[in-house]
């Protein structure tokens, strides 16, 4: 892992934007994208930049189950608002939250990933070490799956909803096995609340107790963290 410690999330977004540009210039065409507050500065920097994704493809990590694409809390809506309406891709794939058949939707999305090998995958990390919605205990070989969200993840995501009771209890998520096939991975983490998970990911044992720790086994991972998120690291 290459670790880049930055002053704040804004600087982190600038660093990630540089990597996106490098991958695109090196003929990378498929970008795995994440949602939530962590990648917002990255998307803001991509929007300001002259980068052109019109011949590229995006494949998102996850989506809530039981939510329509035009729902303001859906990840489809999030991506449209913060990136796609400014920087459209040739094609953008997300799990379909309101798909009538979960099994068929999982199969469909696995096919999307298989047909579009990811050149660069952007990740955040949950306080419990999850990546995507792969919660602690997740099998490292999993492909796309429907997952029950942990209480800590529901609580963390409640800030985006009017009430915690409104947070969906299930999501579709790209599996760890699929994430690990990405050629290059950026993982971003900002804030003191992520420090323990970051230390466990980088310096702890590779264990399903911290799903992100599997990234130690990938040969091209760049971790972008601010000083607060790096606080518990023994080595930098």
* Percent of the chain surpassing pLDDT 90: 86
- pTM for the structure as a whole: 0.94
pLDDT for position 85: 97
Report the phi/psi class of residue 210: left, alpha or beta, with left for phi > 0 and alpha for psi in -120 to 50: beta
Other residues' Cβ atoms within 10 Å of the Cβ of residue 194: 25
Q: Catalytic residues, which ones?
A: 62, 128, 130, 135
Note whether 192 and 231 are within 8 A (CB).
yes
Tens-digit pLDDT profile for residues 59-118: 999 999 999 999 988 999 999 999 999 999 999 999 999 999 999 999 999 999 999 999
* φ and ψ of 147, to 5 deg: -125, 140
């Amino acid at each position: 892992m290459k670790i880049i410690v930055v002053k704040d999330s804004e600087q982190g977004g600038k660093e990630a934007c540089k990597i996106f540009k490098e991958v695109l210039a090196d003929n990378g065409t498929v970008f795995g994208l994440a949602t939530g507050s962590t990648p917002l500065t990255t998307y803001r920097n991509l929007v300001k930049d002259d980068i052109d994704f019109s011949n590229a493809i995006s494949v998102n990590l996850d989506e809530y189950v039981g939510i329509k694409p035009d729902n303001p809390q859906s990840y489809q809506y999030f991506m449209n608002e913060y990136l796609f309406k400014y920087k459209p891709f040739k094609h953008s794939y997300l799990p379909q939250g309101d798909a009538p058949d979960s099994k068929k939707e999982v199969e469909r999305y696995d096919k999307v990933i298989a047909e579009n090998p990811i050149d660069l995958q952007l990740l955040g990390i949950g306080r419990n070490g999850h990546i995507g919605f792969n919660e602690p205990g997740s099998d490292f070989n999993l492909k796309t799956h429907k997952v029950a969200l942990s209480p800590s993840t529901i609580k963390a995501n409640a800030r985006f909803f009017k009430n915690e009771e409104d947070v969906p209890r299930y999501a579709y998520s790209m599996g760890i096995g699929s994430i690990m096939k990405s050629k290059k991975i950026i993982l971003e983490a900002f804030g003191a609340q992520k420090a323990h998970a970051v230390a466990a990911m980088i310096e702890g044992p590779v264990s399903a107790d911290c799903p992100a720790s599997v990234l130690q086994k990938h040969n091209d991972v760049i971790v972008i963290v601010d000083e607060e998120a790096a606080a518990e690291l023994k080595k930098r």
